[in-house]
Structure 1
């Protein structure tokens, strides 16, 4: 029946959202893509708070990269095992890069005496974006660098594994890294700009306690819009022409296009 078919599709969507396609394991809720917005928004709000101290900058960047590392690991291409040592190296590398860049830029802005206080505040609020974007690239690249040396499985039209391709792995990592740069762009750029105008409204000038909840709503709205936009840039099961792959894989199939799990 139509109802039965619709129920099957709904069950499939739920399964794809919570079960890893290769390990078959249930993904912990905060690290699912469906949990990215509710669990990530409080961190975004913290990163964009005005008048950050060095300690608060370090804390929020650490928390953000901790969450990102777990999301990347939970949604990785798992056709090849990732050692725990690799995960720890990635984690510390991403945290170090994010914290170093954020703190370094904050120090530079503080020393820029030629900037007006208003301009300095806007620039300070925009600092999280380059710090997060660069750390995200580091996070994805380090987390999945073993795929470049071992390759990832490529599948024919029937879902049969044709072999491991390093070229497909390179495409998967580049697409994921690009997504990780696009994702924080509206999240960390639009709220500071929007809030700089809203803070001038008489209502908020008189009721400063409303700033944090309104700031949180703005962050939630931009996060909710940017996540599906970033994920939709490339499908999770990406395709690549066989002619672009290694000769041994091209010779093993008559297919012109193969698929691979890009990861999220």
Structure 2
């Protein structure tokens, strides 16, 4: 009966929005095809849309209620596919897919760029002291740790000790690598002062990339021990798989290496060229605002590109998983929440 009601709601929504360009609404499914990189790119552009940060509590409740009405076949007449897609976008941007709880605003994916750009600017400031290097690496990894934890696969409970281990491991690795590389650069006598300054600007990337891997692995190590839930094509729970957990962590770690590349590599190159222009040489006070804009542009490009590498709901063949998982379902493939 519920399936019939849902089908009726889908038909009503489709008919009501036949004149629009919105595709037919599918509850819990992405609006754009996830089999292609371009489809995932458009999907994650929706997820990181900073406008969702300003959604009111009332609008969120309305969006959730609209989706509930669709699910139970009680959708009011005249609701369009566009309205349903918009409601689902709001829900996915604010509520965790596993716990259905609100994610704290600075740690949502839609808040990653607005709240992360000032940190990126700080990481790339020239002539860093030891204290400033430690501070910005600590702040960056603190932000990353909270974002990782807030957007983790939450189908299995994780103790706070795992979060603390991951956080401390990421901070120690990031600070150690950044400080060590800075010391090496300072002691490289064959570098000219200008070359030394340029090289120093690239120090944050290897520090951040390696720390990001450490952060992901340590904070989500429990998934490797306990496994993560895998589901068949109808959303039915099949079992808990440690092999799927390894795939999820590998994909997330690769994303965390690719993400800082444009953010921490492009701005130093662009700024080294812009600083030679007559405008910035005559007005050095513009350096920080210009660098902030360059970092914001690089961040805005890098984030959707990086997280589009793999679907959030990844698919894996059951033959690759544990024998008990393969025996528990007739589906050729199962899906799992990779996390972001």
1:7 paired residue number: 83
2:104 paired residue number: 28
Q: Alignment partner of 1:78: what SS?
A: coil
Q: Of residues 55, 60, 75 in structure 1, which corresponds to 2:136?
A: 60
Contact kept, 8 Å, 2:162 with 2:221, in 1: the verdict is: no
Counterpart CA distance in 1 for 2:237 and 2:155 is: 11
2:258 paired residue number: 182
CA shift, 1:4, in A, is 2.0
Q: Structure 1, unaligned stretches of length 5 or more?
A: none
2:48 paired residue number: none
5 Å matches for 1:164-243? 164-243=240-319
Whether 2:207 is the aligned partner of 1:131: answer yes
Whether 2:90 is the aligned partner of 1:17: answer no
The structure whose RCO (Cα within 8 Å, separation 6+) is larger is 1
Counterpart CA distance in 2 for 1:56 and 1:7 is: 47
5 Å matches for 1:4-153? 4-153=80-229
Q: TM-score, normalised by structure 2?
A: 0.77
Counterpart CA distance in 2 for 1:9 and 1:207 is: 47
Q: Alignment partner of 1:162: what SS?
A: strand
Q: Alignment partner of 2:230: what SS?
A: strand
Kindly report structure 1 stretches of 4+ aligned residues shifted beyond 6 Å: none
- Residue-by-residue CA offset, 1:167-223 (whole Å, 9 max, x unaligned): 000000000000000000000000001000100001111100000000000000000
Counterpart CA distance in 2 for 1:129 and 1:192 is: 11
Counterpart CA distance in 1 for 2:238 and 2:200 is: 50
Counterpart CA distance in 2 for 1:158 and 1:137 is: 33
Q: Alignment partner of 1:239: what SS?
A: strand
- Residue-by-residue CA offset, 1:224-262 (whole Å, 9 max, x unaligned): 000000010011100001110001110111101100000
1:244 paired residue number: 320
Counterpart CA distance in 2 for 1:117 and 1:194 is: 19
2:57 paired residue number: none
Counterpart CA distance in 1 for 2:224 and 2:126 is: 40
CA shift, 1:14, in A, is 1.2
- Residue-by-residue CA offset, 1:1-44 (whole Å, 9 max, x unaligned): 11522101110011111111111111011101111000000000
Counterpart CA distance in 2 for 1:197 and 1:68 is: 30
Q: Alignment partner of 1:69: what SS?
A: helix
Q: TM-score, normalised by structure 1?
A: 0.99
Counterpart CA distance in 2 for 1:232 and 1:38 is: 19
Number of aligned residues: 264
Structure 1 stretch 184-193 or stretch 1-10: which is displaced more?
A: 1-10
